[in-house]
Structure 1
Amino acid sequence: MKSMRPEYAVERLCLAFEVSRSGFYAWLKGEPSPRAQEDAVLKVAIQAVHRQSRETYGPRRIQPELREQGFVAGRGRIARLRRELGLRCKQRRKFRATTNSNHNLPVAANLLDQQFAPTAPNEVWVTDITYVPTGEGWLYLAGVKDVFTCELVGYAMGERMTQELTMKALWKAVQHKRPAHGLIHHSDRGSQY
Structure 2
Amino acid sequence: MLVELIKKGVKLGLDKVRRLMKKLGLVAKRPRQQVYPRGGKSSILASNHLNRQFNPATINRYWSGDITYIRTRQGRLYLAVIMDLCSRRIIVWAFSDKPNINFTVKALNMAIQRRKGESPTLFHCDQGIQYRSEQFQQILAFYQITLA
Q: What range is the shorter-chain TM-score in?
A: 0.5 to 0.7
The CA RMSD measured in Å over matched residues stands at: 3.3
Alignment match, 1:185:
123
Query: Which residue of the partner structure matches residue 94 of structure 1?
Result: 33
Deviation per residue, 1:131-181 (Å, 9 max, x gap): 011232111101001111111101111111112121111111111113646
Q: Identify the residue that residue 153 of structure 1 maps to in structure 2.
A: 91
Length, aligned pairs only = 106
Equivalent position of 2:112 in the other structure: 174
Match 1:76 to one of 2, 7, 16: 16
Q: Which has the higher helix share?
A: 1
**Alignment-mate amino acid for residue 76 of structure 1:** K
The gaps in structure 2 that reach 5 residues or longer are: 1-12, 20-29, 132-148
Query: Hey, which of these two has a bigger chunk of strand by percent?
Result: 2
CA distance in 1 between counterparts of 2:56 and 2:119 reads: 15
Q: Deviations over 1:36-72 (max 9, x none)?
A: xxxxxxxxxxxxxxxxxxxxxx94xxxxxxxxxxxxx
**1:1-193 equivalent positions in 2, closer than 5 A:** 59=14, 75-76=15-16, 94-95=33-34, 107-178=45-116, 180=118, 183-193=121-131
CA apart distance, 1:183: 2.1
Q: Match for 1:95: what amino acid?
A: Q
Query: Residue 114 of structure 2 aligns to which amino acid in structure 1?
Result: H
Give aligned-pair identity as a percent: 31
Q: How far did residue 184 of structure 1 move?
A: 0.9
CA distance in 1, matches of 2:82, 2:103: 12
Runs (5+) with no aligned partner, structure 1: 1-57, 60-74, 80-90
Structure-2 change in CA distance of 1:126 and 1:77 (3 Å): closer
What secondary structure, in the 3-state scheme, does the structure 1 residue paired with 2:57 have? coil
Higher relative CO (Cα under 8 Å, sequence separation at least 6) belongs to 2
Q: Aligned partners of 1:181, 1:150: CA distance in 2, in Å? A: 16
Q: Quick one: distance in 2 between partners of 1:95 and 1:77?
A: 27
The separation in 2 between residues aligned to 1:120 and 1:137, in whole angstroms, is 39
Larger Rg: 1
